[in-house]
Amino acid sequence: MNTETTTCKAEFVQRFTPIRRSARLARRLALHQLEDWGYDYGTETSEAVGHIVAELAANAATHGQVPGRDFELRLLLSEPGTLRIEVSDTRSERLPSLPEPAAPDAESGRGLLLVGALADAWGVTPRDVGKTVWATVAVRDAAGPATPG
């Protein structure tokens, strides 16, 4: 039984219109937020988080799209040293799972393999409306946010 408790040190939440361009914006905002929390741009942590956010946001915009409904990005920086990335959309009938490796000449189908390789863990949590796809990444100590949130 795991008796370790986690405490949220900081949180970032942003909603996006479910269009492909939003995945790029989600990635950029996540990297800016990490930098505000003391995790420098271009580090192993920011590179991994950037790729994970981009993939999950692209999936939400492409596969989780419901007309008139946004998707949401949430970053939770917790003690002891974990960043949880959550992307929620309103489509509950399309749950992702780890796919078989794509054919070498395929133009898609590798995104969740990348998430699985970069994240310490990932999964899907159903919601009343839709789902949340989440991933966790261990992060090294940083200066931390000037003001939480």
Res. 1: pLDDT tops 70: no
Confidence (pTM): 0.81
What is the Cα–Cα distance from 15 to 23, expressed in whole angstroms?
11
**SS3 labels along the chain:** CCCCCCEEEEEEEEEECCCHHHHHHHHHHHHHHHHHCCCCCCCHHHHHHHHHHHHHHHHHHHCCCCCCCCEEEEEEEEECCEEEEEEEECCCCCCCCCCCCCCCCCCCCCHHHHHHHHCCEEEEEECCCCEEEEEEEECCCCCCCCCCC
Number of neighbours of residue 85 by Cβ within 10 angstroms: 25
Predicted confidence band of residue 26 (pLDDT cuts 50, 70, 90): very high
- 147 vs 59, more confident: 59
Q: What is the pLDDT of residues 59-104, one digit of tens each?
A: 998 876 777 789 999 999 997 789 999 999 987 766 565 555 655 5
Q: What local confidence, expressed as pLDDT, does residue 66 receive?
A: 72
